[in-house]
Structure 1
Amino acid sequence: MKKIKVGVAGYGVIGQRLADGVALQDDMELVGVADVAPTLSVRALKEKGMPYKLFTAMPDNTAALDEAGIPISGSLEDLVQQVDIMLDATSAGIGLKNKEIYKKYGKKAVFQGGEKNTVADVFFHGYANYEKGLGADYLKLTSCNTTGLIRAVDCLDREVGAEKVAITIIRRVADPGDYHRGLTNALKIDKAPSHQAVDLMTIMPHVEATGILIHTPVTHGHIITVVLTPKKDISVDEAIAIFEKHPRIRVVSIDEGFLGNASLFRYARDLGNPRGDMYEIALWKDSVVKSGKDLMFAINIPQESVVIPENIDAIRAAMEMQSDRESGTSETNKYLGIGTWKK
């Protein structure tokens, strides 16, 4: 079996998780990762024995990498020439610049949610529009919140149809270990509608969506409350049963001890998941209620790791490894071990 060769640009919060995710796929080969400086993530890579080759995305910084004793296998352009497709997890705006390198060598690429939609041919989600990504040269993923939100909405939409959704996002202000947002004791509200609602409509144009976003001074995940109007009236128990069938949705309850975002982060660590990551979103069965025909529920978004499966899906679609969403997402789930806890 010919393995698809993959490179990762940007070895930060998302990039290192993408590298780990690709390395777990039996039908893919991680050629290497690229970064610009001896960051903590790169230093940790060295201390772990360099399981992945490192390429420098900024040759002018080679001296700093050499001084830190970090071996370099070449430049970003060298990496691009050796792969079939790149996963670009660089800071917003850098991906657009890197695209010129990918185009120069005729290589496909997948960009993250921070890039503008115009960077790609397809705004992609593994479950909601997998087939639109088939054979595409450039795909862009949705943000972490939008990725998890679409999983839940698409899940119900495929079973009973969804007319409209209204969301409130309680958004963590920064990732664990980040200091750039400062030390705060405040909540901050954005203008409505939130981009996640707009992005959902871009992926699922048949669903009317709107939303509000509130920034909170926490780090371990977002919580989204959703009010969804189904086309077919269903009970709470029927809705929960639909959610429970989805491999990337973990249905939990307060009675089990899942009191909030921190409970889920701790549980992921207790499971032994690297970095406390969890690929699934969590949905509280205790939160599923009805108001007339409308369904309301709450989900938890593990922002550092939730988009990894959809990135792998994007590789499968772009390289036409599997031709439909069911087989493509199933392969990704199998190698990442997603859904095994349900069996």
Structure 2
Amino acid sequence: MKKVLVVGYGTIGQRLADGVAQQDDMELVGVVDAAVSLGIRALKEKGMPYQLYAANEEARKAFAEIGVPAAGLMEDALEKADIVLDATSAGIGAQNKKIYQEKGLKAVFQGGEKNDVADVFFHGYANYEKGVGADFLKLTSCNTTGLIRAVDCLNRKCGIEKVAITIVRRVADPGDYHRGLTNALQVDQAPSHQAVDLMTIMPEIEATGILVHAPVTHGHFITVVATPKKDITVEEAIEAFREHDRIRMVRLEDGFKGNASIFKYARDLGRPRGDLYEICIWENTIVKSGRDLMFGIHIPQESVTIPETIDAVRAALHMDKNGEEAVARTNKNLGLGAWKEQR
């Protein structure tokens, strides 16, 4: 059993802890955090299912003041781990990397860190083998992670020459107030970093894109126009997407009207926090313009990177040298694809 430590118990860290705990060949050492948050308060009320370590003495005192038991300090937890999943705020991970290096530990960083924090910019499906044995890996952002799943799926089916994307980006996660109350759309400079990042992971594909921030919280929406190397029908594209364990195909006529419908469905399924690990593609949006294929994707931003992060653990620790075997093991442990049996 490989021992995994999650540093940063925020939006992503909470979900990483849950994801690691579901793996049959990994052991969650615990979680590390630096301040009292709603997540920490909820951890206490749930009966401390995970060992909590304080990032420093100040944090340990703060936890004690609200009656939350700390199993020790971060340095104590690092001694027990084989690898660290760093889910701290952007910039903190780069500082923590020095500590991990001193301890001789491997680490996986999330999309908010700069690319130079890691040896490999990683995606479980598109470039798993590059991460095998690497000391420091960095995940793509939530949008890029989901985008690459879909593009890689088509690329394996028919080859993709280029893609053009438009991202309608949620402005903040549910519960966040730091962006304020908004009633506006904000346009970013093109090309969006997601298109640039896709080309970094998949250099054989030309990509460009536009990003627009929208005043919503439950998920991003991406439109993709993909130019295939070999002509593909809408029906063939649908079948390829249906076979992918990290993609859910949804339809308007079944009640999936938009991002809120998908979030509600995840809650109705009993998914913790209303999370989905899968991206969703509307069958109704898959159309052709000449040879080009167009479709729309829902990205559940809080949870979509969890499977790829677990893939990164497998790669870094040599748990699986073959990418297809690695993602299949992660998918099985997370229950991904199991719902297809009920179709």
TM interval, shorter chain, is: over 0.9
* Mapping for residues 281-320 of structure 1, pairs under 5 Å: 281-320=279-318
Q: Summarize deviations over 1:14-36 as a string: whole Å, max 9, x none.
A: 00000000000010000010000
Residues in 1 aligned to 2:292 and 2:320: alpha-carbon distance in whole angstroms? 36
Q: 1:253 matched to which residue of 2?
A: 251
Q: 2:226 matched to which residue of 1?
A: 228
CA deviation after TM superposition for structure 1 residue 265, in Å: 0.2
Aligned to 1:86, what secondary structure does the other structure show? strand
Runs of 4 or more, structure 1, over 4 Å off, are none
Residues in 2 aligned to 1:200 and 1:44: alpha-carbon distance in whole angstroms? 36
Q: Summarize deviations over 1:280-307 as a string: whole Å, max 9, x none.
A: 0000010000001000000000000000
Q: 2:59 matched to which residue of 1?
A: 61
Moved more, 74-83 or 291-300: 74-83
Residues in 1 aligned to 2:94 and 2:263: alpha-carbon distance in whole angstroms? 33
Q: 2:322 matched to which residue of 1?
A: 324
Residues in 1 aligned to 2:4 and 2:228: alpha-carbon distance in whole angstroms? 40
Aligned to 1:45, what secondary structure does the other structure show? helix
- Aligned 8 A contact 2:122 2:131 in 1: yes
Q: What code does the residue aligned with 2:13 have?
A: G
Check if 1:208 corresponds to 2:206. yes
CA deviation after TM superposition for structure 1 residue 175, in Å: 0.4
Q: What code does the residue aligned with 1:281 have?
A: I
2:6 to 5, 8, 12: 8
Q: 2:32 matched to which residue of 1?
A: 34
Q: What code does the residue aligned with 2:157 have?
A: E
Residues in 2 aligned to 1:36 and 1:23: alpha-carbon distance in whole angstroms? 21
Aligned to 2:23, what secondary structure does the other structure show? coil
2:73 to 72, 75, 100: 75
Residues in 1 aligned to 2:33 and 2:227: alpha-carbon distance in whole angstroms? 44
Residues in 1 aligned to 2:61 and 2:321: alpha-carbon distance in whole angstroms? 45
* Mapping for residues 131-170 of structure 1, pairs under 5 Å: 131-170=129-168
Residues in 2 aligned to 1:213 and 1:93: alpha-carbon distance in whole angstroms? 23
CA deviation after TM superposition for structure 1 residue 200, in Å: 0.2
Residues in 2 aligned to 1:62 and 1:247: alpha-carbon distance in whole angstroms? 41
1:199 to 197, 200, 214: 197
- Aligned 8 A contact 2:133 2:315 in 1: yes
Q: What code does the residue aligned with 2:290 have?
A: G
Residues in 1 aligned to 2:163 and 2:75: alpha-carbon distance in whole angstroms? 43
Aligned to 2:79, what secondary structure does the other structure show? helix
CA deviation after TM superposition for structure 1 residue 75, in Å: 1.2
Q: What code does the residue aligned with 1:92 have?
A: A
Aligned to 1:282, what secondary structure does the other structure show? strand
Q: Summarize deviations over 1:143-178 as a string: whole Å, max 9, x none.
A: 000000000000000110000000000000000011
Q: 1:243 matched to which residue of 2?
A: 241
- Aligned 8 A contact 2:124 2:308 in 1: yes
TM-score by length of 2: 0.99
- Aligned 8 A contact 2:60 2:73 in 1: no
Q: Can you give the 5+ residue segments of structure 1 that lack an aligned partner in the other structure?
A: none
Residues in 2 aligned to 1:195 and 1:58: alpha-carbon distance in whole angstroms? 34
Number of matched pairs:
341
Q: 2:41 matched to which residue of 1?
A: 43
Q: Summarize deviations over 1:245-267 as a string: whole Å, max 9, x none.
A: 11000011101110000000000
Q: Summarize deviations over 1:32-91 as a string: whole Å, max 9, x none.
A: 100001111011001111111111113223221110111111111111111000000000
CA deviation after TM superposition for structure 1 residue 242, in Å: 0.8
Q: What code does the residue aligned with 1:215 have?
A: H
Q: 1:280 matched to which residue of 2?
A: 278
- Aligned 8 A contact 2:251 2:282 in 1: yes
Structure 1 vs Structure 2 CA RMSD:
0.6
Aligned to 1:127, what secondary structure does the other structure show? coil
1:115 to 88, 113, 116: 113
Residues in 2 aligned to 1:311 and 1:295: alpha-carbon distance in whole angstroms? 29
TM-score by length of 1: 0.99
Q: What code does the residue aligned with 2:15 have?
A: R
Q: 2:88 matched to which residue of 1?
A: 90
